[in-house]
Amino acid sequence: MNYRNLSIQENSAGGFSLVPIRMEDREAIRAWRNEQMYHLRQNKPLTEADQTRYFNEVVLSLFSQENPAQYLFSYLKNGECIGYGGLVHINYKNQSAELSFIMKTSLERLEFHLHWSNFLTLIEPIAFTALQLNRIFTYAYDLRPHLYPVLTECGFLLERCIPNALLIEGKPIQAVIHSKWNASLRKAEIQDVELTYSWASMASVRQYAFNQDPITPHEHHTWFQHKINQTDCMYFMLELPDKTSVGSIRIDINPTEKEGLISYLIDPKFQGKGWGVAILVLGQSIAREHGITCLIGEVMPENSSSCAIFVKLGYESTVLSDRIRYQKIL
């Protein structure tokens, strides 16, 4: 069966493939889920009747829906099902989805890295090209740290940790979220001066600037040219695959303290889509690569959306007279 309105139904590489989930694989999947309950959000073993009912009532209906909440796939090796996974908890407004993947239990010890890497490679075009998602992410209880190097190798970045997400024999376990965005940071260039001026001069942006005096194109051009050539400043544009810039981030570096002061903004047309989190997490990664050990962001208290993003990403806050300072050790 094929999913409605999904332009990429299958993806294959090196004898491995993802195909729309097959009814014939349901019993193998049930066995793997029951064997691996310790790391799943599943609180009791599935019976054969449970699994058949789920496939008949939930899975089969996904194929006819305009915008299903999940797309599930069988993961095959030379036609044999050895795992399953897909895009779940799809948020069409924010264009994001969680990744879920389980392999045959006997493969976990020696082939974990191989099959997770295959799955991530095969699912990405379905997520980013076919569904035009902005973000895909994994939500994992902190029980299998060997998963994290695979995610890093495939371009996922640690987004945040959620403490006390699970309790096992009285011991709290955190949940760890790794994300990958259909966007990247590139160095700002002089050609970006007019676009960045258009953002900086918008009333909706200037209301949260510490200096709210009007700025002229000439003033901005002079300042911008200085910043992109300054050795102790890293200035980047957040860019989509079609070369559309949706925001910018600047990190002014104090080399003595190995600190970076963050200033970022998202084009108001693209706000509310999670790009604020994306630009900060991508910026953190670049800061680490350049030896920065601490990042600081200063925000007006009225800028509640920016404050929420810093808190979400684990920055510690200090309330000052006219601003809130957020700080994170990298």
DSSP string, 120-132: HHHHHHIIIIIS-
**pLDDT of 206:** 83
SS3 content of the chain, % helix, strand, coil (to 5): 35, 35, 30
Measured between alpha carbons, how far is 2 from 20 in angstroms, rounded to an integer? Answer: 6
Give the 3-state secondary structure of residue 11. strand
Domain ranges (residues) in the chain: 11-181, 184-329
> CATH classification of 184-329 is 3.40.630.30, yes or no?
yes
Measured between alpha carbons, how far is 75 from 225 in angstroms, rounded to an integer? Answer: 50
Among 235, 238, 205, smallest CA distance to 134 is for: 238
Half-sphere exposure of 258 (CA within 13 A, CB side): 11
Span 235-286, pLDDT tens digits: 999 999 999 999 999 999 999 999 999 999 999 999 999 999 999 999 999 9
- Whether 11-181 shares its CATH topology with 184-329 is answered yes
Q: Are strands 259-266 and 316-319 parallel, antiparallel or unpaired?
A: unpaired
Span 90-103, pLDDT tens digits: 999 999 999 999 99
pTM above 0.75, yes or no: yes
Contacts of 257 (CB under 8 A, 6+ apart): 294
Cβ atoms of 147 and 39 within 8 Å: the answer is no
Please state which CATH number belongs to domain 11-181: 3.40.630.30
**C-alpha Rg value of the chain to the nearest Å:** 23
Does 211 score more than 90 pLDDT?
A: no
Span 140-164, pLDDT tens digits: 999 999 999 999 999 999 999 999 9
**pLDDT of 243:** 96
Give the 3-state secondary structure of residue 88. strand
Measured between alpha carbons, how far is 77 from 254 in angstroms, rounded to an integer? Answer: 52
